Chains A and B, each alone.
Chain A
Amino acid sequence: MTSRHEIGVEIAVIGGGLVGAAVAYGLIKKGLSVVLLDEGDTAIRASRGNFGLVCAAGKGDKLEDYAPWALQGVHVWAEFARNLIAETGIDLELEQNGGFVFCAGPLALKERIDMMERLKRKSGLDFDVMEPAEIARLMPGVSSNVAGAIFCEIDGAANPLKLLRALHAAISATEGALRREARAERIERTSGGYRITTPAGMVTSEKVVLAAGLGNLGLAKWLGIALPIKPMRGQILVTERYESILKAPSEHVRQTMDGTFLLGGSWEDVGYDTSTTFEVTRDIAAQAVSYFPFLEKVRLMRTWSALRILAPDNAPIYDEIAPGAFLVTCHSGVSLAAIHAGKVASWIADGALPDEAAAFALSRFEPGLKEREIAYG
């Protein structure tokens, strides 16, 4: 299955999760010769622990340029999904019936409204504020333990597992484009580009895309770059199937097309620990039951943890960190999948990042880094 001989491509994308797969898919669509290097089943794989929201609401709180970018990402999702579904026959279960952000108390609601107003001035993202009675039209069974919610009409959700599967299926339709069990162990500069060492053989490429989530920390070091990203644990609960009742998702509770409920919303700064805890499981369950009392009798099926890949401002980083070496990292692999396969793949194919990308450059965190990068060229 694995051939040891060296292969050469125009672009090597490192990271078989949602970010890497979306970029690789976009590059293949542009006719480039691409190999996607996937670590395989043992990878940390944030993409498998994802909640699946396709949403713009609230993005850009700490970096306002992210607000219009996230909005664009949501706008192009439907067309992206249509194409990918047509190509693979895999239903991504995209629903764009709007999405909620719940606030438990009036103070939290007011703060959230202020933030949304501020971001609206930047991006134009429209939103409504709803009381429980209005929320219940889309989310029947909601209790008055919710003070109110922000509702964004353009938001929604997709099935992140099916998205990953569809991207892998589309990529593997090109012979040799998907390399499994191919964890990038070493990146070296060569005269014509890069050489990447993996257990599945050596890969040489003109360009390389670092899209390996937290793995980018180690990969960027090969190019002399320290990244300011870190893991932020989220625990997620999934229930048994239930009759279809919730028509729109929220950050804390959403019902999938299978009928299961996903419950989440925890943020824990605990490094690389991917275990679950009783306390957080209990708190998430308690919050969900408090918002939707009928969930009391619905069974918890599984719990898991996933590590968000967070930059200090929670926004993506897009940058050319060495000539022909592009960094793509973000927390929102689902919301941004379409724009990663579209615009971001185009930037990489063109070989230069446009002004639009400047706001997401690494230099926003540490001005010194940019100069080091110039020194490479």
Chain B
Amino acid sequence: MTQQNKPASSHFPLYRLLSDAPGGIVVDLDGEQLAAHSHETVASLMLRQIDPGQFRRSAVSGEPRAPLCMMGVCFECLVEIDGQRNEQACLVRVRSGMTIRRQFPRGERQ
């Protein structure tokens, strides 16, 4: 539990996998190749790979937002998948070759 001592402001993901087994699926997240397990969704993968503050920004307020419910209700996990914007990342399973783009207003990236 080394993470426990990190200050809250540092950048690290909210979740980690219990198992160390490598995933067999490779997806592209904003140009970076990530290994994923076949049963994962885009949201569950991102939650264990990126800092929650970097997930997306609201198109309305510009504030950072990240997944909230993981059950298809809250629409806080919206990402662009294979060119289609505003997909619910928590409902879409990863596929090999999938291209995932985070959504920031006016194209800004963190």
Contacts and interface: CB of A to CB of B under 8 A. Distances in A.
B60 interface: yes
A116 to B, nearest CB: 38
Interface stretch (B33-41, B43-51, B83-91): B83-91
A297 interface: yes
Contacts of B83: 297
Contacts of B84: 297
A241 interface: yes
Secondary structure type dominating chain A contacts = strand
A299 B86 CA distance: 8
B69 interface: no
Interface in B75-110: 83-86
B51 to A, nearest CB: 26
A240 interface: yes
Contacts of A241: 59-60
A299 B85 CA distance: 9
Nearest to B107: A243
A81 to B, nearest CB: 24
Contacts of B85: 297, 299
A241 B59 CA distance: 8
Nearest to A240: B86
Contacts of B59: 241, 259
A297 B84 CA distance: 6
A298 to B, nearest CB: 8
B35 to A, nearest CB: 28
Nearest to B84: A297
Interface string B53-86: 0000001100000000000000000000001111
Nearest to A296: B84
Nearest to B87: A299
Contacts of A299: 85-86
Nearest to A258: B60
Nearest to B83: A297
Nearest to B60: A241
Interface in A269-328: 297, 299
A103 to B, nearest CB: 31
Nearest to A241: B59
Contacts of A259: 59
B53 to A, nearest CB: 22
A259 B105 CA distance: 13
Interface in A233-264: 240-241, 259
Nearest to B78: A240
Contacts of A240: 86
A240 B78 CA distance: 13
Contacts of A297: 83-85
A299 B84 CA distance: 10
Nearest to A297: B84
B22 to A, nearest CB: 34
A62 B89 CA distance: 52
Nearest to A298: B85
A241 B83 CA distance: 17
Nearest to B105: A243
A240 B86 CA distance: 9
Nearest to A259: B59
The 8 lowest CB-CB distance pairs between A and B, nearest first, are A241-B59, A297-B84, A299-B86, A240-B86, A297-B85, A241-B60, A297-B83, A259-B59
Interface of A: 240-241, 259, 297, 299
5 contacts: A241-B59, A241-B60, A297-B84, A297-B85, A299-B86
Given A297-B84, A299-B86, 7 more contacts: A240-B86, A241-B59, A241-B60, A259-B59, A297-B83, A297-B85, A299-B85
Interface of B: 59-60, 83-86
